[in-house]
Structure 1
Amino acid sequence: MSLPPLNKTQYDTFRTWLLYNAYTPEHLRQADNVEMRRIIRQMDYWYEGFRIGSERRRIIAGLYAMRDRDFN
């Protein structure tokens, strides 16, 4: 099953957050399941400051989509 592509707003949000937290595409590609869960929890916590409900599924899909892009 293929992940849906990110729109420009989603891409910009993920890119800004990942770069601010010093994550690179290589880091995401090499991350094991434990590391990805840690990143997901970290981003989920960040999102809660801006939205009433968490968008955990979108965060997960977005991080895996960003893993295959060069966002530096």
Structure 2
Amino acid sequence: MKEKELLDLGYKKYSGDNIDIFFHQEICEHSGKCINGSNKVFDTDRRPWIVADNENYEKVKNIIHQCPSGALKYILK
């Protein structure tokens, strides 16, 4: 999907140097796969709770692929 499509669907964008992460709160099933995958990138105690550049973008991609609900998406730059 393209950025505009994701934003139009209600996803929020978190920008990084190599990857942009998109999150849709209403779709999230709270499985914890993102937080357990990397609390450096995904940390609900921090604002913003997603910091895309806190891990290698390949690791971030792999974590997002594990999201069971589709609440997390990404676009590589």
TM-score normalized by the length of structure 1: 0.32
> Counting helix residues as a fraction of each chain, which structure ranks higher?
1
- Of structures 1 and 2, the one with the larger relative CO (CA 8 A, separation 6+) is 1
